[in-house]
Protein backbone atom coordinates (compact mmCIF):
# COMPACT_ATOMS: atom_id res chain seq x y z
CA UNK A 1 0.00 0.00 0.00
CA UNK A 2 2.21 2.74 -1.45
CA UNK A 3 0.18 5.54 0.10
CA UNK A 4 1.10 4.45 3.59
CA UNK A 5 4.86 4.48 2.93
CA UNK A 6 4.80 7.95 4.49
CA UNK A 7 3.69 6.81 7.95
CA UNK A 8 4.94 3.21 7.84
CA UNK A 9 8.37 4.41 8.99
CA UNK A 10 6.88 6.68 11.67
CA UNK A 11 4.26 4.21 12.88
CA UNK A 12 6.21 3.13 15.98
CA UNK A 13 6.36 6.64 17.33
CA UNK A 14 2.70 7.50 16.59
CA UNK A 15 1.23 7.61 20.11
CA UNK A 16 -1.43 10.35 19.80
CA UNK A 17 -3.85 10.41 16.89
CA UNK A 18 -6.44 13.17 16.50
CA UNK A 19 -9.29 12.86 14.00
CA UNK A 20 -11.06 15.97 12.69
CA UNK A 21 -14.30 14.83 11.07
CA UNK A 22 -17.25 16.36 9.25
CA UNK A 23 -20.45 15.39 7.47
CA UNK A 24 -18.58 13.31 4.89
CA UNK A 25 -17.75 10.57 7.39
CA UNK A 26 -21.47 9.99 7.99
CA UNK A 27 -22.41 10.21 4.31
CA UNK A 28 -21.97 6.43 3.91
CA UNK A 29 -24.39 6.00 6.85
CA UNK A 30 -27.09 7.74 4.79
CA UNK A 31 -26.82 11.17 6.43
CA UNK A 32 -26.72 14.05 3.92
CA UNK A 33 -23.72 16.41 3.99
CA UNK A 34 -24.04 20.23 3.83
CA UNK A 35 -22.59 20.52 0.32
CA UNK A 36 -24.42 20.82 -2.95
CA UNK A 37 -27.83 19.12 -3.27
CA UNK A 38 -27.34 17.37 0.05
CA UNK A 39 -27.21 20.76 1.76
CA UNK A 40 -30.79 21.64 0.80
CA UNK A 41 -33.88 20.84 2.92
CA UNK A 42 -37.27 21.76 1.43
CA UNK A 43 -35.08 24.06 -0.73
CA UNK A 44 -33.86 25.84 2.37
CA UNK A 45 -30.06 26.23 2.50
CA UNK A 46 -28.88 24.30 5.58
CA UNK A 47 -26.27 26.97 6.29
CA UNK A 48 -29.12 29.56 6.48
CA UNK A 49 -31.41 27.41 8.61
CA UNK A 50 -28.67 26.73 11.17
CA UNK A 51 -28.82 30.30 12.48
CA UNK A 52 -30.42 32.01 15.51
CA UNK A 53 -32.10 34.40 13.03
CA UNK A 54 -33.90 31.55 11.23
CA UNK A 55 -34.96 30.13 14.59
CA UNK A 56 -36.56 33.32 15.81
CA UNK A 57 -38.12 34.01 12.38
CA UNK A 58 -39.74 30.56 12.28
CA UNK A 59 -39.00 28.28 15.27
CA UNK A 60 -41.59 25.73 14.06
CA UNK A 61 -39.77 25.32 10.70
CA UNK A 62 -36.33 24.93 12.36
CA UNK A 63 -37.78 22.37 14.80
CA UNK A 64 -39.31 20.42 11.91
CA UNK A 65 -35.85 20.38 10.24
CA UNK A 66 -34.12 19.05 13.35
CA UNK A 67 -36.94 16.56 14.01
CA UNK A 68 -36.49 15.16 10.48
CA UNK A 69 -32.70 15.02 10.87
CA UNK A 70 -33.09 13.39 14.28
CA UNK A 71 -35.40 10.71 12.88
CA UNK A 72 -32.91 10.06 10.06
CA UNK A 73 -29.97 9.94 12.49
CA UNK A 74 -31.76 7.62 14.95
CA UNK A 75 -32.26 5.22 12.02
CA UNK A 76 -28.60 5.41 10.94
CA UNK A 77 -25.74 3.04 11.90
CA UNK A 78 -22.03 3.82 12.18
CA UNK A 79 -20.13 2.74 9.03
CA UNK A 80 -16.71 1.10 8.59
CA UNK A 81 -15.10 4.53 8.86
CA UNK A 82 -16.54 5.26 12.32
CA UNK A 83 -15.75 1.67 13.42
CA UNK A 84 -12.12 1.83 12.23
CA UNK A 85 -11.54 5.03 14.26
CA UNK A 86 -12.92 3.28 17.36
CA UNK A 87 -10.73 0.21 16.73
CA UNK A 88 -7.55 2.32 16.43
CA UNK A 89 -7.84 2.94 20.18
CA UNK A 90 -6.15 -0.48 20.53
CA UNK A 91 -2.95 0.93 19.01
CA UNK A 92 -2.76 4.60 20.14
CA UNK A 93 -4.44 7.42 22.10
CA UNK A 94 -7.28 8.46 19.79
CA UNK A 95 -9.33 11.65 20.15
CA UNK A 96 -12.14 12.61 17.77
CA UNK A 97 -12.89 16.30 17.20
CA UNK A 98 -16.14 16.24 15.23
CA UNK A 99 -18.33 18.88 13.64
CA UNK A 100 -21.11 16.28 13.42
CA UNK A 101 -24.10 16.36 15.76
CA UNK A 102 -25.16 12.77 14.92
CA UNK A 103 -23.41 10.88 17.74
CA UNK A 104 -22.26 8.09 15.36
CA UNK A 105 -18.64 8.15 16.58
CA UNK A 106 -19.83 7.37 20.10
CA UNK A 107 -22.26 4.74 18.71
CA UNK A 108 -19.25 3.08 16.98
CA UNK A 109 -17.45 2.85 20.32
CA UNK A 110 -15.10 5.84 20.23
CA UNK A 111 -14.41 6.75 23.87
CA UNK A 112 -13.02 10.31 23.47
CA UNK A 113 -15.26 12.40 21.21
CA UNK A 114 -15.54 16.20 21.41
CA UNK A 115 -18.73 17.49 19.72
CA UNK A 116 -17.59 20.96 18.59
CA UNK A 117 -21.02 21.94 17.24
CA UNK A 118 -23.27 20.23 19.79
CA UNK A 119 -25.55 17.20 19.59
CA UNK A 120 -28.94 16.52 17.98
CA UNK A 121 -30.14 14.62 21.07
CA UNK A 122 -29.54 17.60 23.37
CA UNK A 123 -31.93 20.53 23.93
CA UNK A 124 -31.73 23.72 25.98
CA UNK A 125 -33.92 26.70 26.84
CA UNK A 126 -33.40 29.77 24.68
CA UNK A 127 -33.45 31.88 27.87
CA UNK A 128 -32.85 30.06 31.20
CA UNK A 129 -30.09 27.49 31.78
CA UNK A 130 -32.38 24.46 31.46
CA UNK A 131 -30.70 21.64 29.47
CA UNK A 132 -31.90 18.08 28.72
CA UNK A 133 -31.70 15.19 26.24
CA UNK A 134 -34.61 14.20 24.02
CA UNK A 135 -35.30 10.61 23.09
CA UNK A 136 -38.84 11.01 21.74
CA UNK A 137 -40.53 13.59 19.48
CA UNK A 138 -42.29 16.56 21.10
CA UNK A 139 -46.06 16.46 20.57
CA UNK A 140 -46.24 20.19 19.80
CA UNK A 141 -43.38 22.30 18.37
CA UNK A 142 -41.71 24.59 19.27
CA UNK A 143 -41.80 22.96 22.73
CA UNK A 144 -41.85 25.28 25.75
CA UNK A 145 -39.56 25.25 28.78
CA UNK A 146 -41.09 25.32 32.27
CA UNK A 147 -40.01 29.00 32.35
CA UNK A 148 -42.40 29.58 29.45
CA UNK A 149 -39.74 30.32 26.83
CA UNK A 150 -39.14 28.12 23.77
CA UNK A 151 -36.71 25.22 23.83
CA UNK A 152 -34.09 24.87 21.07
CA UNK A 153 -31.70 22.12 19.86
CA UNK A 154 -28.43 22.34 21.89
CA UNK A 155 -26.28 22.81 18.79
CA UNK A 156 -23.97 25.69 17.76
CA UNK A 157 -25.56 27.84 15.07
CA UNK A 158 -23.63 30.10 12.67
CA UNK A 159 -22.71 33.34 14.40
CA UNK A 160 -22.73 31.61 17.79
CA UNK A 161 -19.47 30.76 19.53
CA UNK A 162 -18.51 27.17 20.29
CA UNK A 163 -18.71 25.92 23.93
CA UNK A 164 -15.41 27.34 25.20
CA UNK A 165 -14.52 24.42 27.48
CA UNK A 166 -14.81 22.00 24.54
CA UNK A 167 -13.00 24.35 22.14
CA UNK A 168 -10.06 24.93 24.49
CA UNK A 169 -9.71 21.13 25.00
CA UNK A 170 -9.82 20.62 21.21
CA UNK A 171 -6.96 23.10 20.72
CA UNK A 172 -4.86 21.27 23.34
CA UNK A 173 -5.47 17.84 21.75
CA UNK A 174 -4.69 19.22 18.27
CA UNK A 175 -1.51 20.88 19.55
CA UNK A 176 -0.20 17.65 21.13
CA UNK A 177 -0.94 15.00 18.45
CA UNK A 178 1.64 13.08 16.36
CA UNK A 179 -0.82 12.32 13.57
CA UNK A 180 -3.94 14.27 12.55
CA UNK A 181 -6.35 12.60 10.14
CA UNK A 182 -8.87 15.00 8.58
CA UNK A 183 -11.74 12.91 7.25
CA UNK A 184 -14.97 13.93 5.49
CA UNK A 185 -14.82 17.67 6.01
CA UNK A 186 -14.54 20.53 3.51
CA UNK A 187 -12.77 22.64 6.20
CA UNK A 188 -14.94 25.61 5.18
CA UNK A 189 -16.36 26.32 8.62
CA UNK A 190 -14.32 28.16 11.27
CA UNK A 191 -12.98 27.87 13.89
CA UNK A 192 -13.00 24.05 13.40
CA UNK A 193 -11.00 24.52 10.18
CA UNK A 194 -8.08 25.99 12.17
CA UNK A 195 -7.40 22.71 14.04
CA UNK A 196 -4.95 21.37 11.40
CA UNK A 197 -2.85 24.51 11.90
CA UNK A 198 -2.37 23.69 15.61
CA UNK A 199 -1.27 20.16 14.68
CA UNK A 200 1.12 21.46 12.02
CA UNK A 201 2.70 23.74 14.64
CA UNK A 202 3.42 20.55 16.60
CA UNK A 203 5.02 18.96 13.48
CA UNK A 204 2.30 16.35 13.40
CA UNK A 205 1.79 14.35 10.18
CA UNK A 206 -1.37 15.66 8.44
CA UNK A 207 -3.43 13.25 6.35
CA UNK A 208 -6.63 14.18 4.47
CA UNK A 209 -9.23 11.58 3.48
CA UNK A 210 -11.75 13.07 1.08
CA UNK A 211 -12.88 12.22 -2.46
CA UNK A 212 -12.65 15.95 -3.22
CA UNK A 213 -10.21 18.83 -2.70
CA UNK A 214 -10.64 20.87 0.49
CA UNK A 215 -9.61 24.34 1.72
CA UNK A 216 -6.36 22.92 3.12
CA UNK A 217 -5.40 20.06 0.76
CA UNK A 218 -2.15 21.84 -0.10
CA UNK A 219 -1.14 21.86 3.60
CA UNK A 220 -1.42 18.07 3.92
CA UNK A 221 1.49 15.60 4.05
CA UNK A 222 -0.72 12.97 2.44
CA UNK A 223 -4.02 13.31 0.56
CA UNK A 224 -6.13 10.17 0.00
CA UNK A 225 -8.84 10.86 -2.59
CA UNK A 226 -11.24 8.15 -1.48
CA UNK A 227 -14.10 7.68 0.97
CA UNK A 228 -13.60 7.31 4.73
CA UNK A 229 -15.38 3.93 5.00
CA UNK A 230 -13.07 2.53 2.30
CA UNK A 231 -9.83 4.09 3.56
CA UNK A 232 -9.89 4.08 7.38
CA UNK A 233 -10.03 0.25 7.80
CA UNK A 234 -6.68 0.17 5.93
CA UNK A 235 -5.13 2.20 8.77
CA UNK A 236 -6.27 -0.48 11.23
CA UNK A 237 -4.68 -3.27 9.17
CA UNK A 238 -1.48 -1.23 8.87
CA UNK A 239 -1.23 -0.82 12.66
CA UNK A 240 -2.08 -4.53 13.08
CA UNK A 241 0.77 -5.58 10.76
CA UNK A 242 3.33 -3.51 12.69
C1 LIG B 1 -18.18 31.42 15.29
C2 LIG B 1 -24.23 22.63 13.83
C3 LIG B 1 -17.53 33.27 16.66
C4 LIG B 1 -25.67 22.80 13.53
C5 LIG B 1 -22.75 23.89 12.33
C6 LIG B 1 -17.12 34.84 6.84
C7 LIG B 1 -15.91 34.28 6.50
C8 LIG B 1 -15.32 33.28 7.33
C9 LIG B 1 -15.98 32.80 8.51
C10 LIG B 1 -17.19 33.39 8.81
C11 LIG B 1 -17.74 34.40 7.99
N12 LIG B 1 -18.89 34.77 8.54
C13 LIG B 1 -19.08 34.04 9.70
C14 LIG B 1 -18.03 33.21 9.86
C15 LIG B 1 -17.83 32.24 10.90
C16 LIG B 1 -18.69 30.98 10.58
C17 LIG B 1 -18.18 30.26 9.36
O18 LIG B 1 -17.18 29.58 9.39
N19 LIG B 1 -18.96 30.40 8.25
C20 LIG B 1 -18.54 29.72 6.98
C21 LIG B 1 -19.80 29.25 6.28
C22 LIG B 1 -17.80 30.68 6.10
N23 LIG B 1 -18.49 30.16 11.76
C24 LIG B 1 -19.35 30.33 12.78
O25 LIG B 1 -20.32 31.07 12.75
C26 LIG B 1 -18.99 29.55 14.03
N27 LIG B 1 -19.04 30.42 15.19
O28 LIG B 1 -17.32 31.67 14.45
O29 LIG B 1 -18.35 32.11 16.47
C30 LIG B 1 -18.25 34.27 15.91
C31 LIG B 1 -19.45 34.70 16.46
C32 LIG B 1 -20.07 35.76 15.79
C33 LIG B 1 -19.59 36.24 14.51
C34 LIG B 1 -18.40 35.73 13.98
C35 LIG B 1 -17.72 34.72 14.68
C36 LIG B 1 -20.04 28.43 14.28
C37 LIG B 1 -19.90 27.37 13.24
C38 LIG B 1 -20.80 26.18 13.60
C39 LIG B 1 -22.10 26.23 12.86
N40 LIG B 1 -22.86 24.97 13.08
N41 LIG B 1 -23.43 22.73 12.60
C42 LIG B 1 -26.20 21.75 12.59
O43 LIG B 1 -25.47 20.84 12.18
O44 LIG B 1 -27.40 21.90 12.31
S45 LIG B 1 -21.70 23.96 10.97
C46 LIG B 1 -22.11 22.54 10.02
O47 LIG B 1 -21.65 22.85 8.71
C48 LIG B 1 -21.40 21.28 10.37
O49 LIG B 1 -21.29 21.10 11.76
C50 LIG B 1 -20.03 21.46 9.71
O51 LIG B 1 -19.21 22.22 10.53
C52 LIG B 1 -20.36 22.32 8.53
C53 LIG B 1 -20.37 21.51 7.28
O54 LIG B 1 -19.02 21.24 6.99
P55 LIG B 1 -18.58 19.70 6.76
O56 LIG B 1 -18.96 18.91 7.95
O57 LIG B 1 -17.18 19.74 6.33
O58 LIG B 1 -19.55 19.19 5.60
P59 LIG B 1 -19.56 19.66 4.09
O60 LIG B 1 -20.86 19.22 3.56
O61 LIG B 1 -19.17 21.10 4.00
O62 LIG B 1 -18.37 18.80 3.41
C63 LIG B 1 -18.45 17.40 3.42
C64 LIG B 1 -17.08 16.96 2.92
O65 LIG B 1 -17.05 15.53 2.98
C66 LIG B 1 -16.82 17.36 1.47
O67 LIG B 1 -15.49 17.84 1.38
C68 LIG B 1 -17.00 16.04 0.71
O69 LIG B 1 -16.12 15.96 -0.40
C70 LIG B 1 -16.59 15.03 1.75
N71 LIG B 1 -17.20 13.69 1.61
C72 LIG B 1 -18.43 13.40 1.11
N73 LIG B 1 -18.64 12.05 1.19
C74 LIG B 1 -17.52 11.51 1.78
C75 LIG B 1 -16.61 12.57 2.06
N76 LIG B 1 -15.40 12.37 2.63
C77 LIG B 1 -15.08 11.07 2.95
N78 LIG B 1 -15.91 10.00 2.75
C79 LIG B 1 -17.12 10.19 2.15
N80 LIG B 1 -17.93 9.15 1.94
ZN1 LIG C 1 -36.30 28.10 30.38
Three-state secondary structure call for residue 23: coil
Pocket of ligand 1 (CB under 6 A): 22-24, 27-28, 33-35, 47, 50, 99, 101, 117, 155-161, 183-186, 188-192, 209-212, 214, 227-228
Would you write out the chain's pLDDT as a tens digit for each of its 242 residues?
A: 555 676 777 777 899 999 999 999 999 999 998 876 677 677 778 788 899 999 999 999 999 999 999 999 999 999 999 999 999 999 999 999 999 999 999 999 999 999 999 999 999 999 999 999 987 778 888 999 999 999 999 999 999 999 999 999 999 999 999 999 999 999 999 999 999 999 999 999 999 999 999 999 999 999 999 999 999 999 999 999 88
CA 104–ligand 2 middle distance (angstroms): 29
Ligand nearest to C-alpha 131: 2
In this prediction the pTM is 0.96
CA 154–ligand 2 middle distance (angstroms): 13
CA 51–ligand 2 middle distance (angstroms): 20
Nearest atom in ligand 1 to the alpha carbon of residue 28 is 80
Residue 132 has what pLDDT?
Answer: 94
Amino acid sequence: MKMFELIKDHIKDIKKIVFVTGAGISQESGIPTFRGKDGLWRNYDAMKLATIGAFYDNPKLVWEWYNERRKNIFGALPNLGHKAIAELEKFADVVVLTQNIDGLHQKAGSSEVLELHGSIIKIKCSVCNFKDEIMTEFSEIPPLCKCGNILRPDVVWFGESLPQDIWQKAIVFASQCDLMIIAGTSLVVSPANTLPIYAKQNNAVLIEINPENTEMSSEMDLVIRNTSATTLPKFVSMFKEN
